[in-house]
Structure 1
């Protein structure tokens, strides 16, 4: 299908942006191009000397009387000539030695060129670009990660960045070298025989037309291939993460079949691309070989008729035409690399151009130390911008107070918590810390003042000590152990094979859910933040361990403003204030005892839990319920 105007415009925009990216490395690029220019000159010098040597041998044969044909003394080009007083063997040996010296020098320069090119594209461009993409990902909001699959993001950071590399070394540098080389080869051939040059290069316009059509048709196929690879990587990642579920439900064969189908789709799409590329390359090769046939016919006729020298004419022309054909044959690779790089670049730039929704204002307030007062004033928030999950919340929390949040799934508990450290910004209203809108605070200061324990704890493949000190890498072992003791984690850590230096598996898969959660709590406590956010931290912990943790956490919570999502009464009643959320709004608020005396959702939850534990009758006797 022909390209639309929009597609052409997008391609030109991508090319311009890629050229701006490459301009950063103009010094290194100039070095690479200069080395390639030196290689080109040495190649031409060697070819010229070869032609001169053949002509000199031809002349020497005619002078010796072996043949009756009279041959003129060879006239050198570019300063290459043989003094007439030299003996034939000295002249031939000198020419051969010069050709060998040029070949050795060319080999050394080719080595330097290869090293310089790899340092440029792999050591600089790829490393820098991958770092930029990663840095951008760190600054994007959770909304971006909700909208893009893990497989897609991984592919963009890995293979798509490598595709951008193709634009530098396989497109820009190659096109520049090709353009200079073809120009020099053409001018050299014209200086030898304009008519022969015209005859041999007559197929070139056809080749360029064929290349243009090929490029337009291959690009959509690369785009589709990238999407199929994304799906394959995503399925693979999900299977790895969900291996326990797959085995538990004996669903391995079905998942294997689904993976094989995704893999086959990628293969079939790639085969479609390879088929076209494989057809394109020999077609280009055939057109260039037609030139060789013309050379032997027309060029041979010119040599026989004395219009062209054998060595410095026909042989050199043949070498130039061979080099010309080799460069033209690269057109297929350039066209192929161009399409791959444009598809990859578009996907990489989508990350680099993704809007940073949460960022510092131009002149943020630097506040490294805060007291911990938190206020939410008429705050509303929606993930999709339309349907509110937090609706007109008003809440004042003095420094050092503990607020527990209770609510059903989807009531807005976690969304409310995510607004305090600015994982998201509300659509309306203000989240205030120490009477300053959090949007005015320096983001780094804000988040360093907040310790967070998520509902599902994530641990890194590192030592236990490094996981606890993740947000405070300069912490001493004494500080790490103190945080672990507060989180009731020291005993089980000490029992590990290497204690605090034990390397954890991926996401701490060698630990129980309760152990992982206690390490996450220790990680938050180590920061000694004035504000703590605990998103249901005891959900994966048994009642006995929960009691141990909260007995220890009493000293950590003391003096800190704490927001605690919880569902168990023995957790909720530790809070100074409890808010009950329903459909994004605060349905009830008060202390544990106050809410027990009110008809409403909190009392219903308490009634159900006490009935399960058998304590309901004793509560009635104490008059806790009306």
Structure 2
């Protein structure tokens, strides 16, 4: 209903990466027991993997001892085959143990995947998306006027997934990586300290390279989200404006506009992938140097009898391979960190947005209101500069109908928006039955107010559900009564399934007059004390206007009504009229009184009378 304000910048500065990480850790802490369960499974998997590798090394050493006569020696796990067992029995036992480890690990890997998916997808993503949507429902119109539809949709969908990525791909995987690397290093140190130090000498270079790459990529991911958002916005506007596009034959230009946005996302993502693809093998090359060192120095130790082949070199090689694999994932981890931080920042911007209009802690609960409305020295500005309303004083008694006339931008819709508290006055008060609207419970206040917009939105649901939208518990008798008041019952019963007919998006398939009558029925069903009508006949023809007025006359009866109007046929129905210019009331009175005054009202009326007379003469001439 409110006229769109200028786009507002965010009231709070962007969150730093440190603050974001702390808040993400705080979010994960809510699911700590699930996280601990997932991590415990990973520790068990890690232990089984090392055990399987150790048994493999033991088997190699045992075979070598039997073939070459080399002493079996000691190993880290302290495992020694019983001396009275035959070689076949020992190897069979080792093979069975390795197979058991493999089967157990496969089963636990499946269980780990299911548990991690349940935690991340079903718990974190679902809860966070619901939290963001709940916050959106409580934000004022100012937020939606300052943020386009594409941006909001992207944040609720893709950016929430980015938060999931942090907890799943960054937090949990980082802890798993830390545990794994610690276990691998400890095990390798127990095998041979000097060999461990030599093989891991390049690790500090990996940390430096990863830090540099992370800082380098952060702006790229931020730009990527912006470009993706523009693409979604282009798609949204294209779908919403498809009639205009086809009407002006602009399909080719519209396709090119979307393709440009789509290509911009692709080309920017390709640059990101190219950098990540270059960084990943660079890290891999550094880790492969470790394997060369192992083959050279580790082989020398085996030849000189200072390190066993199986439980020493082979196990060490397996551990180093696992270590290198974990380190190689640093590139992927850095990639995930940057994506998740950019997305998390955008999600938290919604969660941190101030709720400008809400019920006070001690708000007054009210039932049925009488409908007395008073604007007491009300001024309003969107940003604190250039007031949209200035010093409005207006008293409307219960049951009165006041019409509001004014040019575009005069402040008509904003004035009405203050009644249901879509916005709160910057200065002054709006009193309902003598109480400041800010002191009334918001839900109770709005349940006493019916709304009919210039272009009423209908949901993809049944006719009955659309009428009962504000009162979902309404009986069929109440729904039909409201439809009859709105002069909608006859055309509804003529629909294929009557009140159970499912409407298309935005009420497609219905005429403008039919949609307006359903909107009136929806407002009337609440039995509101106050009715707000924002130019409900502006976009319909004169014949349909007559039908709408019949419905409006019944709807208005006994209710305090504000109606934005420009046609004399509407203005004459009001008990009194106010004329607005530049946010001020410049005239007020009945139609007859204002016609006797020189001013904007009489000028508008005279023009309409002249146009009407001209049309009548043209009709008689034909």
TM-score by length of 1: 0.94
Match of 1:56 among 59, 62, 65: 62
**Contact 1:610–1:616 (8 Å) recurs in 2:** no
* Aligned pairs for 1:582-593 within 5 A: 582-593=581-592
Could you tell me how far 1:609 is from its partner in structure 2? 2.1
Bigger shift: 452-461 or 36-45? 452-461
User: 1:9, 1:140 → 2: CA distance?
Assistant: 20
* Aligned pairs for 1:485-504 within 5 A: 485-504=484-503
Could you tell me how far 1:313 is from its partner in structure 2? 0.7
Bigger shift: 274-283 or 364-373? 364-373
Residues 572 and 124 (structure 1), Cα distance of their counterparts in 2 relative to 1, 3 Å cut: same
- Segments of 5+ residues of structure 2 without an aligned counterpart are 1-12, 617-622
Bigger shift: 205-214 or 551-560? 551-560
Instruction: Show the counterpart of 1:127.
Output: 126
Instruction: Show the counterpart of 2:446.
Output: 447
Instruction: Show the counterpart of 1:597.
Output: 596
Could you tell me how far 1:250 is from its partner in structure 2? 1.5
Residue-by-residue CA offset, 1:192-228 (whole Å, 9 max, x unaligned): 1111111211111111111111001000111111111
Instruction: Show the counterpart of 2:325.
Output: 326
**Contact 2:486–2:554 (8 Å) recurs in 1:** no
Instruction: Show the counterpart of 1:200.
Output: 199
Instruction: Show the counterpart of 1:275.
Output: 274
**Residue aligned with 1:265, SS:** helix
User: 1:289, 1:550 → 2: CA distance?
Assistant: 82
User: 1:616, 1:556 → 2: CA distance?
Assistant: 31
**Structure 1 residue 12 corresponds to structure 2 residue 18:** yes
User: 1:89, 1:452 → 2: CA distance?
Assistant: 87
* Aligned pairs for 1:147-296 within 5 A: 147-296=146-295
**Residue aligned with 1:387, SS:** coil
* Aligned pairs for 1:392-407 within 5 A: 392-407=391-406
**Contact 2:513–2:548 (8 Å) recurs in 1:** no
Instruction: Show the counterpart of 2:97.
Output: 98
**Residue aligned with 2:393, SS:** strand
Instruction: Show the counterpart of 1:365.
Output: 364
**Residue aligned with 1:81, SS:** coil
Could you tell me how far 1:176 is from its partner in structure 2? 0.5
Instruction: Show the counterpart of 1:302.
Output: 301
RCO (CA 8 Å, sep 6+): is it higher in 1 or 2? 2
Count how many residue pairs are aligned between Structure 1 and Structure 2.
605
Bigger shift: 494-503 or 519-528? 494-503
Bigger shift: 536-545 or 301-310? 536-545
RMSD: 1.8
Bigger shift: 414-423 or 583-592? 583-592
Instruction: Show the counterpart of 1:426.
Output: 425
User: 1:78, 1:495 → 2: CA distance?
Assistant: 83
User: 1:79, 1:113 → 2: CA distance?
Assistant: 30
**Residue aligned with 2:438, SS:** coil
**Structure 1 residue 32 corresponds to structure 2 residue 38:** yes
TM-score by length of 2: 0.94
- Segments of 5+ residues of structure 1 without an aligned counterpart are 1-6, 63-69, 618-626
Instruction: Show the counterpart of 2:28.
Output: 22
Where does structure 1 differ by over 4 angstroms across 4 or more consecutive aligned residues? none
User: 1:553, 1:421 → 2: CA distance?
Assistant: 20
Bigger shift: 52-61 or 198-207? 52-61
User: 1:279, 1:419 → 2: CA distance?
Assistant: 57
Could you tell me how far 1:312 is from its partner in structure 2? 0.7
User: 1:450, 1:195 → 2: CA distance?
Assistant: 80
**Contact 1:55–1:311 (8 Å) recurs in 2:** yes
